[in-house]
Structure formats: structure tokens, C-alpha cells
Structure 1
């Protein structure tokens, strides 16, 4: 848990302007101050999104660009100010919709939506991504990839296949091997997109893009098996149109879950039952236009949501008792902001 005097930094990646805005978050009032803006070096044309991945030790930030040549840009994070210094660009096997390091920070995992594949890239010190060591085909439209907290298994969504892929993960070699069975299905045409683990690593929350539903799973840490517990909607009352859900996040204490929906430009809030891990709706909050990415600060007090169409960022206070969101301010960032990462530096 962050302490008084710590520095909290938010990174917002902007696909169209090919840059990262670096903002300091005031822990007292949630105010944001722009401290730097970094252009992605060696990138000549924008991609559709710029997923980011943070190393577990918070020393490095990796930014994937979804345009050819498919590249991941590495940055060292200044331990005092949070400013970024370019380390190196690395080669990716395809345009990645999602990247994440494994729990050791030695490997970069990627999910390619257009390439229908997941990949592993070794990371050599200091924070330099090496060429891919493994490329595996998946069901259509791989959309997210995440190692479990024990670093023993990796889960990856396939939106077009309506499945969550499961892999054994060798943390020594960085090798993925399909489990048996290799997938678990969700409702047809739901479109599994992003997922999060709870702090205990015993439950998984999955947001489905095409119907804006959320699936709750019990997670067996020994076998990597998923057991469905609940499905509920993230759509606001009176919704009309085509659902287009995007991201899902959980507070560090595991008490609240939030989900973004782009057609209605809303954030849905849910309370997590501490006994069953199942969700109950708190309510919906209007936010920036087309909110693809958002993040919660490590203290669990603030939520930052970016709008791809508004090119803006909203800061919300999270009520510690109810989980409800109160907007504190809006800020302009770069063009097509789509990913937000927040860290605290002691």
C-alpha cells in the first residue's frame, strides 16, 4: 500500500499522436499535472491502439505499436520522478492488441487480434525486448493475455472463438504449453475481451465485448481450471444500440470492479461479495467519449478513464464505502488515448 510522501504517476498512451503523456497524480485531491510528454521513438505511423505493460519492479514500461513494422518500445522509469528514458525498440511477431509481462518480468506476453496468435518475447536487461521465442496459433481474434499470480499458468482470450485459452507456463524458459482441456467456452457471440484476477488469485473476472457481459469464474490455482459462477450485464439502463465493452479493472483490495462500455460512454461499478466473489451492480457513471482504457491507482482511491474520441482523461474519486465514482476533473491528453497505467514510486 502506498505511503504518505510517495509519488503517483499516470502514463497515458495515445495511438494517433504516437506519444505518452506523463502526469503526476496528487494523492490528496486527485489533481493531475502534466510533467512530460514523450514521443515514441522510431515510430513513423500511428496504429489503432498502443497497449502498455509495466515490469513488476516498476523499473520499465513497454509500449506496443499496432502498425508495421510491429514494434514494442521500451522505456526506463526514473525511480524518483517517473519520467521515461528510451531503452530500445524490440521486434514483435504481429500487431498486438494486448501485452503483459510475466510475473517475473523476464518475458513479454502478447495477444494478436488480427494474427490470431499469442507470443512470448524474452526481455534482456536492461528492459530490452528480444525477438519472439514462441508464437502459437489460437482461436480467432486473440485479445488479451495474462499470467496468473503464481506465474504457473497463462490465460488468453479469443474474442472470435468465444473461448479463454489456458496454457502451462514454464517461468524458467518462458514456454507456453496448452493445458487439457486447452480452452473454456463462454456464451456464443459474447466476445471475450479483457480479464483480471482478484488479489487472492482465486477468481477471474472477464468482460465480453460484443454483449457487454461480465463472467465471474472460480480459479483453481493448482490446475489453472476455470469454473463459471455468474454472468451479468455491464450495460446501463435503457441502453439501445450495439454493445461495445472494452476494459475491466479491480481495486487493489478486491472490493470493487469497474468496466467500460464504448457505445454508451459509461463506466459500470460493481461490488464484490467477500464470501462468494460474485458481483452486484452499484451503478453507471457517464465518462469520456468512447472509453477504451482506464486504470485505478495503487491505493485504490482514484480511477482515470481515457476517451478515444474526446481525446480527454477524467479523474474520479472512488468512495471507499460504496464504490461510487465522483468526477474530480477532466484533462486533454494526446490523440486517441486508449491505455492508462498508474504506478506509485516510494
Structure 2
């Protein structure tokens, strides 16, 4: 769609339909202010809690975070996303994250503690079944949450050679290789017992990765060696200024395009933390926390320009956008849009 000679920016918002969400919402993005305007919603699968856009921006994939576990593919057009075939079962339960990698869609399945591999057809749809389900093994010391594996995220490394999966239940990150349709573990990195790693984001320099820990709440800085496919913890930094009063469950993490700032959202405290990174990306320092603009920020997303930050506030049912100060990294609230049971924001 034309917009002054430019393709109009779109954002897509996932939600929990079981909690009143409308499915996948499409929103127009104001490039100057970051403001969102919801245009419509598509209810193709239950609980489309996490979304991913294909590299060519023609397709949108959504997990169905249910006991059965499935992925739906949508074709993106000028009106609204259009379902491409029926949802595909993934052979895992409770998928919380997905990514496009090596001609496949990979899902992190929290309940079953596994990663599924779904082949993508030439038209962008999904084949009839998973070609591989890689089951994690292990546990952690915090028995209420770590009796079994809980894969929470899977994503490519910056080189596109490795798939990296983060497991809250086993306090570890797995570096995996995809050969054809089969995913295998190349190396597993242990993090501090009981930290409960949830999501990982890479520094744009490619030499470090930041693992956000849900049970700590901290960020673990890791040295990343793409040639070896190895991840090595080197430091751990708190994302809150002191001992939290009440629940504190970090959820989303984002890194600025220039690598100077890292942001983390924490549910319960309902804040966005601002951390500064040194030139190498090895050292982080907490400098500020600001209200997330709602309740229970499940995900945090930086827009492609790096100027605006978005918090999907699940329990208050809205998405809040912030204008990022380019000098300090501190986000200033710009506004919000209703989005019942919001769970993530991605850009097309």
C-alpha cells in the first residue's frame, strides 16, 4: 500500500482469545509519532500469543498457545491477513514463540519442553506436519516452575547459521543446527541454577547475547562465538534497582540498533528497565526504570527504526508506545491503544 511513495507501516498484535483477545490485530503505524491505529482483527486460531513475519514480509505466522499446539500462516495484503490453509499441528504443547529459519518455521513449546520444525511450502504455507520435534531434557532447582524443561524462545543467531533455544525449566540455552528438516543440539550452555532464562537478544555487533531471566530477575551477558556456535556467560546484571516488593517476572527484552541500550520489561512491577552497554557490549548498567503504561507487560518490541518502543500489556489490555530518547535511551510514553489480552507486537 502506498504512503507518500513508501509502503505503509503495519504492526500486528497477538492476543489470548481465551482471555478476551480478538485474535491477530492489524494496526497502522504513524512513522512520525509511533502511534498505532487498530484497523481490524482476524480470529483464525485460538490464543495466537506470538507472531513472526517472513523475511520478505509477505507472510505472518502465529502460534496457537494451546494444549494441542499449532501454527497458522497468514498472507499479508492491503486489507487484512488472510489465512493460508488450515493451522498445522506442531507435535508439542503450549508454544510460546516461533521464528522463520532456514526455510522452516521453528516453535518453542513451553508445556512440552520441545522445539518443533515445520517445513514451509514454496507458497509460504506450512506442510502437513512437523518434520522434527527436538525434546529438551533436564530440570532446575525451583520446583514450582522447573521440574521439567520449558522451552520459551527459539531464534536464529545474527549469522543465520544457528538456531538458539532458551529453556526456563533447565536453566540453559541450546545452540542447534538445522540439516534439512532435522534440528540437533550442537552445544548446551548452563546458566545460573534457578535463574529461569526466558528470552535472548543479540548485540548488533554479533559478539554478545543478553539472556533475560524470568525467575531472577536479571540479564545474563554471554559471549557469543558464531564460528564455534558457543555461548559463554560472563556477567549478570539486575534489571530492578533493589529487592522487588511483590511479583517480579521479566518478560521481554530489546536492544537498540547501535547496541548502546538494552530494555527489559518486568511483569508484577510493571516497568520497563533501561540498561546501558559499553562499546564492546560486554558490560551492562541499569540506569532507569519507567512505568510500562499498563499492567503485566508480556512482551517488549522495538520498531524497525529504533525510535519507538512498544509494550504489550496483557492484563490491562493495551499496547503502549514510547518515544526513545536517543541520548539516554530512556523511553517517554507516547500513548496507547486498546488491545484486549495483548501478548506481542511485530512489524510487517
Partner of 2:145: none
Give yes or no for the alignment of 1:168 onto 2:177: yes
Structure 2: any 5+ residue segments left out of the alignment? Answer: 138-148
- Taking the aligned partners of 1:69 and 1:275, their CA distance within structure 2 comes to 43
Measured after TM superposition, the shift of residue 68 of structure 1 is 4.7
Give 1:13's aligned residue.
Answer: 14
Indicate the residue corresponding to 1:145 in structure 2.
154
**How far apart are the structure 1 equivalents of 2:38 and 2:301?**
17
Q: Are 2:178 and 1:177 equivalent residues in the alignment?
A: no
Post-superposition, which runs of at least 4 consecutive aligned residues in structure 1 deviate over 6 A? none
The TM-score, its normalising length taken from structure 2, stands at 0.89
Structure 2: distance between partners of 1:255 and 1:276: 8
Change over 3 Å in CA distance of 1:220–1:4 after alignment to 2: farther
Question: Which secondary structure does the structure 2 equivalent of 1:124 belong to?
Answer: coil
Structure 1 stretches lacking a partner, 5+ long: none
Aligned residues: 327
* Partners of 1:141 and 1:159 within 8 A in 2: yes
The separation in 2 between residues aligned to 1:313 and 1:306, in whole angstroms, is: 5
**In structure 1, distance between residues paired with 2:205 and 2:156:** 14
- Secondary structure in 2 matching 1:303: strand
Matches within 5 A, 1:127-138: 127-130=124-127, 131-138=129-136
Seen in structure 2, the aligned counterparts of structure 1 residues 317 and 153 have a Cα distance that, compared at 3 Å, is same
Aligned position for 2:288: 283
Pairwise CA distance, 1:4: 8.2
Alignment of 1:195-234 (within 5 A): 195-234=200-239
Matches of 1:137 and 1:116, distance apart in 2: 6
2: CA distance, partners of 1:133 / 1:297: 33
Which residue number corresponds to residue 77 of structure 1?
A: 76
C-alpha separation between the residues in 1 aligned to 2:174 and 2:308?
32
Does 2:324 align with 1:318?
Answer: yes
SS of the counterpart of 1:310? coil
**Is the 1:315–1:330 Cα contact (8 Å) retained in structure 2?**
yes
Indicate conservation of the 8 Å contact 1:90/1:128, yes or no.
Answer: no
Alignment RMSD (CA, Å): 1.9
Q: 1:7 to 1:271 in 2, by over 3 A?
A: farther
